Amino acid sequence: MRESLIVALDTDAHTALGLARSLTGTVLWLKVGMTLYYAEGPGIVTRLRDMGFKVFVDLKLHDIPHQVEGAARELGRMGASMFTVHTSGGAQMMRAALDGACAGSVECGADTPDVIGVTVLTSLDDEALRSIGIESGTHAHALLLAGVAKDAGLQGIVCSPREARAMRELLGAEALVVTPGIRPEGAPTGDQARVATPSQALAAGASHIVVGRPITSAPDPVAAALAILDVREG
């Protein structure tokens, strides 16, 4: 279960590093998203990696292939273990991300990071998709994008836990199925529209669950993380 839990550090660097120190030995993965990365730059990834964590850099790259390849190369060079691109950028862009990740990791002698594709954000529901001209609904659209990611060669995808079972069937046993929108039983959903509990997501086939505020805003983040880690054991 420790391999499955990713703790999202959507905070400032001082708070993030304090949380990381407290979670050392409890969790293996930490997520650096836009809030932390844009405030602190690539050095925060290196610092967390040097503390012994696997770092999931969630910047959701989405640009022309040349730009994405360059960004992916830098993420590979800094030792990220996994990072995200938007699948709606298309197959050529996703292949460019793979090329960049490989080139960057070779330059620094690190393992090549896994590249995973964001399908439909967990903050969106069917009505939100219709408002931007997508009539097929969140489930069908997420599966369509996941198929494009699979054909492009990505190692996996990001989806809501509600799509995890269908994604596992589509992508196979080895694919990474990373699910944000995780809330323990009774926890507030906040700005997430498509959520599930940790046990529901894992039972549906998620390889990784991303948990932020239920851990990082808890009075005792270590106890909160341990409670989630106990889900699969119980």
**Active-site residue set:** 60
Using N-to-C axis directions, what is the helix angle for 13-23 and 221-233, rounded to 10°?
50
d(CA 59, CA 121): 13
Give just the sign of the alpha carbon dihedral 119, 123, 125, 127: negative
Q: What are the φ/ψ torsions at residue 156 (nearest 5 degrees)? A: 175, -165
Consecutive H or E run containing 203: helix 198-204
Using CA atoms of 84, 206, 124, 28 in order, give the dihedral in degrees to the nearest 10: -50
